[in-house]
Copies of this chain bind each other. A is one copy, B any other.
Amino acid sequence: MVFLSVFMASLSRLRVIAPSLRSFSRSPVPSLLQSRTFTMTTCDEFKQAPHKLLVIPGPIEVSDEVLFANAHPAVSHVAPDFIKGCHREVVFTKDAQPFLISGSGTLGWDQVSANLVESGENALVLHSGYFGDSFSDCLQTYGANVDLVKAELGTAVSQSVIEEKLKAKKYKVLTFTHVDTSTGVLSDAKAIAETVKRVSPDTLIVADCVCSVGSEEIRFDDWGLDIVLTASQKGLGTPPGLSIVVASQRAMKVFESRKSPVTSYYASWKKWLPIMKAYEAGTPAYFATPPVNLINAYLASLRQITRASPSLEERFRLHREASQRVKDAASELGLKQIALDPAFAANGMTTVYYPDGLGAADILPRFAQRGLVIAGGLLGSIKDKYFRIGHMGVTVVDSDRGDVDNIVRVLKESITEARSQKA
């Protein structure tokens, strides 16, 4: 809770410089100031423009408060109070090392590949969709020997296969995609961590949680994870542009004892670690200019996510319930999902095959006509055969918005209309 209170303190400090001057424009204006307008926007007054509801599996809908924080006036990038807290609460860790770097979620793979794996070391990549291929590609770029284990489409790699692989070879790291955004397949992070700790305790456990932080339960310390890498634009409810990595102290020791130099400059923890420590200590530091506004927006979103009510546990429950409603609606329409079993289905998104004889052109525009933006397929082999709906963040947690009702209604209307027009 200490970090949460530091967020709060730093945010309230930012907030006090935005007093309501709404009535200013109605007051007599001194002649010297006549050339400037003093209509002022405060957070309470700021409402984002009307727009189509964005329910793809990230980026997601952003709250007014977070967007307003993204429009904060310019501040210095080395000012001691612009960031003092970080990203521990949401993944339940006390002492892991956070890295906040300007970049997309992809940059998290570079951070892992360049800092934790040395050329010629072995990496085991569990594959449950598109992002397993990409992480493997990234690790190989930095010289790792990668073994890629592909699960059957719609499932995650089983614990027995993981055990078999770990017994057959020594791996520096094992990586898995907690929720693969291409398939909507959820991996059992807790079970994977247990298997690795039992069979190969020295192997670092790397969780790609880009599409799961904030929408799925992640117990970093309790489960013994070494890396959670994520990004700002999904369950964290912030615009994209922030790569967020949390590393265990064990991972930091592995990093500090590496024999060869780090082979990236921008993603090098040698450069970033002193900066992250300085940020938390409240002292100015510089390696590269951080995305000040985006960090401000991220802290505003974290404040919403980690507040007392709804609690994080309640948030996870709300995601599970919303997910169940969307998945039930798809089933009632006779639509087949990619996840072969509910245990493999993510709670922040749903992937559904198009009905027989129908495709993207029949379904996606019908959602758009009704004000909803959803996503087509991403996984190469079945790219044109399915669509994806995201249900994360404010869309799920703020029931007054009615977003989940809309998703369910528009899903039914669009499928029904498309079927009747084809018939």
Where the two chains meet, the residues of A that have a C-beta atom closer than 8 Å to any C-beta of B are 17-19, 21, 35-42, 45-51, 54, 56, 58-62, 67-68, 70-77, 79, 102-107, 109-110, 113, 137-138, 141-142, 231, 233, 239-241, 261-268, 286-294, 373, 375, 378, 400-401
Contact = CB atoms under 8 A, between A and B. Distances in A.
A268 B248 CA distance: 28
A72 B292 CA distance: 17
Contact of A76 (B37, B40, B71, B373): B373
Contacts of A401: 36
A113 B266 CA distance: 11
B241 A294 contact: yes
A48 B76 contact: no
This protein's copies in its complex:
2
Nearest to A41: B46
A125 to B, nearest CB: 14
A289 B231 contact: yes
- 8 shortest A-B CB distances, which residue pairs? A241-B291, A18-B49, A106-B288, A104-B288, A71-B71, A239-B293, A138-B265, A51-B73
A47 B41 contact: yes
A45 to B, nearest CB: 6
A110 B265 CA distance: 7
A148 B104 CA distance: 32
A200 to B, nearest CB: 25
Contacts of A268: 141
Contacts of A233: 77, 289
26 contacts: A17-B49, A18-B49, A19-B49, A40-B47, A41-B47, A41-B48, A54-B75, A56-B76, A59-B75, A71-B71, A74-B239, A75-B373, A76-B373, A76-B375, A104-B289, A141-B262, A141-B265, A141-B268, A142-B263, A142-B265, A231-B289, A239-B292, A239-B294, A240-B289, A240-B292, A266-B266
Given A41-B41, A264-B264, A289-B233, A67 B73 contact: yes
A21 B48 CA distance: 11
A137 B41 contact: no
A222 B291 CA distance: 33
Contacts of A137: 265
Contacts of A102: 102-104, 107, 240-241
Nearest to A286: B378
A291 B47 contact: no
Contacts of A241: 102, 241, 291, 293-294
Contacts of A289: 58-59, 104-106, 231, 233, 240
A46 B41 CA distance: 6
Given A37-B47, A79-B373, 13 more contacts: A17-B51, A35-B400, A41-B47, A76-B373, A106-B265, A106-B289, A110-B264, A137-B265, A142-B265, A233-B289, A239-B291, A239-B294, A240-B293
Contacts of A79: 373
B103 A74 contact: no
Contacts of A264: 110, 141, 264
B73 A49 contact: yes
A70 B293 CA distance: 9
